[in-house]
A and B are shown apart, each in its own frame.
Chain A
Amino acid sequence: MALLEVKDLRVQFHTDDGIVKAVDGVDFTVDRGETLGIVGESGSGKSVTCLSILGLARGGRVAGEAQFEGRDLLKMHPDELRQVRGKQIAMIFQDPLSSLHPYYRVGAQIIEAIQAHEKIPKKDAHKRAVELLGLVGIPRPERRVDDYPHQFSGGMRQRAMIAMALALDPAVLIADEPTTALDVTVQAQILDLIERLQDEFGTAIIMITHDLGVVADMADTVLVMYGGRAVEVADRRTAYYHPHMPYTWGLLQSLPAIGPERDAERLHPIKGLPPSLIHPPSGCKFHPRCPYVMDVCTSEEPKLLPADASEPGHLSACHLTLEDKQRIWQQEVAPTR
Chain B
Amino acid sequence: MSVNETQSGAAPAPGGSGDRQPLVRLTGIKKYFPITQGIIFQREVGRVHAVDGVDLEVAPGETLGVVGETGCGKSTLGRIAGRLLPVTEGTVEFEGRDVTNLKGKELRQFRRQVQMIFQDPYSSLNPRKRVGAIIGDPFQIHGIADGKERKLRVQELMEVVGLNPEHYNRFPAEFSGGQRQRIGVARALALRPRLIICDEPVSALDVSIQAQVINLLEDLQSEFNLTYVFIAHDLSVVRHVSDRVAVMYLGKVVELSDAKRLYAEPKHPYTGALLSAVPVADPDLAEKRERVILYGDVPSPIDPPSGCRFHPRCPKAQDRCVVEEPPLEPKAAGDLAACHFPLEPGENLAKAKPGIKQEIAAPAL
Q: List chain A positions with a Cβ less than 8 A from chain B.
A: 41-42, 134-137, 139, 153-156, 183-189, 191-193, 196-197, 200, 210-217, 236-237, 240-241, 250-258, 260, 263-270, 273-274
Q: List chain B positions with a Cβ less than 8 A from chain A.
A: 1, 3-4, 7-8, 69-70, 176-179, 206-212, 214-215, 218, 233, 235-237, 239-240, 259-260, 263-264, 273-274, 276-286, 291, 293-298, 359-360, 362-365
19 A-B contacts (beta carbon < 8 Å): A135-B364, A136-B363, A137-B365, A185-B273, A186-B69, A186-B297, A188-B294, A189-B294, A197-B365, A212-B281, A241-B283, A255-B207, A257-B240, A260-B263, A263-B239, A264-B8, A266-B3, A267-B211, A267-B240
Instruction: Report yes or no: B277 in contact with A254, Cβ–Cβ below 8 A.
Output: no
Instruction: Report yes or no: B263 in contact with A185, Cβ–Cβ below 8 A.
Output: no
Instruction: Report yes or no: B363 in contact with A217, Cβ–Cβ below 8 A.
Output: no
Instruction: Report yes or no: B277 in contact with A256, Cβ–Cβ below 8 A.
Output: no
Chain A residues with CB under 8 A of B274: 184-185
Known: A156-B297, A189-B294, A236-B283. 5 other contacts (CB 8 A): A154-B70, A186-B297, A200-B365, A256-B240, A274-B176
Chain B residues with CB under 8 A of A236: 283
Question: Smallest CB–CB gap between A121 and chain B, Å?
Answer: 25
* Residue of B179, B286, B359 ringed by the most chain A CB atoms within 10 A: B286
Task: Using A183-B233, A260-B260, A273-B176 as known contacts, say yes or no to A254 and B210 having CB atoms under 8 A apart.
Answer: yes
Of B69, B208, B286, B294, the contact of A41 (CB 8 Å cutoff) = B208
Of A153, A191, A270, the contact of B208 (CB 8 Å cutoff) = A270
Chain B residues with CB under 8 A of A265: 4
Instruction: Report yes or no: A251 in contact with B208, Cβ–Cβ below 8 A.
Output: yes
Chain A residues with CB under 8 A of B294: 185, 188-189
Of B208, B260, B281, the contact of A263 (CB 8 Å cutoff) = B260
Instruction: Report yes or no: B215 in contact with A189, Cβ–Cβ below 8 A.
Output: no
Chain A residues with CB under 8 A of B281: 212-213, 215-216, 240, 252, 255, 258
Q: How far is the CA of A193 from the CA of B362 in the complex (A)?
A: 10
Closest residue to A131 on the B side, CB-wise?
B364
Question: Smallest CB–CB gap between B239 and chain A, Å?
Answer: 7
Task: Using A187-B277, A255-B236, A267-B215 as known contacts, say yes or no to A216 and B283 having CB atoms under 8 A apart.
Answer: yes
Q: How far is the CA of A267 from the CA of B239 in the complex (A)?
A: 12
Chain A residues with CB under 8 A of B209: 41, 269, 273
Q: How far is the CA of A77 from the CA of B286 in the complex (A)?
A: 43
Closest residue to B278 on the A side, CB-wise?
A184
Of A183, A200, A240, the contact of B69 (CB 8 Å cutoff) = A183
Task: Using A135-B364, A266-B1 as known contacts, say yes or no to A188 and B293 having CB atoms under 8 A apart.
Answer: yes
Q: How far is the CA of A264 from the CA of B222 in the complex (A)?
A: 14
Instruction: Report yes or no: A217 in contact with B286, Cβ–Cβ below 8 A.
Output: yes
Q: How far is the CA of A222 from the CA of B264 in the complex (A)?
A: 29
Chain B residues with CB under 8 A of A196: 365
What DSSP secondary structure best describes chain A's contact surface? helix
Q: Which 7 A-B pairs have the closest CB atoms?
A: A137-B363, A213-B279, A269-B211, A256-B240, A188-B277, A270-B208, A267-B211
Chain B residues with CB under 8 A of A200: 365
Closest residue to A213 on the B side, CB-wise?
B279
Instruction: Report yes or no: B279 in contact with A217, Cβ–Cβ below 8 A.
Output: yes
Chain B residues with CB under 8 A of A266: 1, 3-4, 215, 218
Q: How far is the CA of A210 from the CA of B202 in the complex (A)?
A: 14
Chain B residues with CB under 8 A of A270: 208, 211
Chain B residues with CB under 8 A of A153: 297
Closest residue to B176 on the A side, CB-wise?
A273
Question: Smallest CB–CB gap between B179 and chain A, Å?
Answer: 8
Question: Smallest CB–CB gap between A337 and chain B, Å?
Answer: 8
Instruction: Report yes or no: B235 in contact with A184, Cβ–Cβ below 8 A.
Output: yes
Closest residue to A271 on the B side, CB-wise?
B212
Chain B residues with CB under 8 A of A212: 207, 281
Q: How far is the CA of A214 from the CA of B178 in the complex (A)?
A: 23
Q: How far is the CA of A213 from the CA of B280 in the complex (A)?
A: 4
Chain A residues with CB under 8 A of B283: 216-217, 236-237, 240-241
Question: Smallest CB–CB gap between B282 and chain A, Å?
Answer: 6
* Residue of B70, B239, B260, B283 ringed by the most chain A CB atoms within 10 A: B283
Q: How far is the CA of A187 from the CA of B277 in the complex (A)?
A: 8
Task: Using A137-B362, A216-B279 as known contacts, say yes or no to A254 and B208 having CB atoms under 8 A apart.
Answer: yes
Task: Using A185-B69, A263-B239 as known contacts, say yes or no to A269 and B208 having CB atoms under 8 A apart.
Answer: yes
Instruction: Report yes or no: B279 in contact with A264, Cβ–Cβ below 8 A.
Output: no
Closest residue to B234 on the A side, CB-wise?
A184
Closest residue to A268 on the B side, CB-wise?
B211
Q: How far is the CA of A161 from the CA of B239 in the complex (A)?
A: 33
Chain B residues with CB under 8 A of A210: 206-207
Task: Using A186-B297, A213-B278, A240-B282 as known contacts, say yes or no to A274 and B240 having CB atoms under 8 A apart.
Answer: no
Closest residue to A289 on the B side, CB-wise?
B208
Chain A residues with CB under 8 A of B176: 273-274
Q: How far is the CA of A268 from the CA of B291 in the complex (A)?
A: 28
Instruction: Report yes or no: A185 in contact with B236, Cβ–Cβ below 8 A.
Output: no
Chain A residues with CB under 8 A of B178: 273
Of A41, A186, A256, the contact of B236 (CB 8 Å cutoff) = A256
Question: Smallest CB–CB gap between B178 and chain A, Å?
Answer: 7
Q: How far is the CA of A143 from the CA of B272 in the complex (A)?
A: 33
Instruction: Report yes or no: B279 in contact with A214, Cβ–Cβ below 8 A.
Output: yes
Question: Smallest CB–CB gap between A133 and chain B, Å?
Answer: 10
Closest residue to B281 on the A side, CB-wise?
A212
Chain A residues with CB under 8 A of B285: 216, 258
Of B3, B276, B282, the contact of A216 (CB 8 Å cutoff) = B282
* Residue of B8, B206, B235, B264 ringed by the most chain A CB atoms within 10 A: B206
Q: How far is the CA of A270 from the CA of B286 in the complex (A)?
A: 25
Q: How far is the CA of A69 from the CA of B105 in the complex (A)?
A: 72
Closest residue to A152 on the B side, CB-wise?
B297
Question: Smallest CB–CB gap between A235 and chain B, Å?
Answer: 9
Chain A residues with CB under 8 A of B263: 260
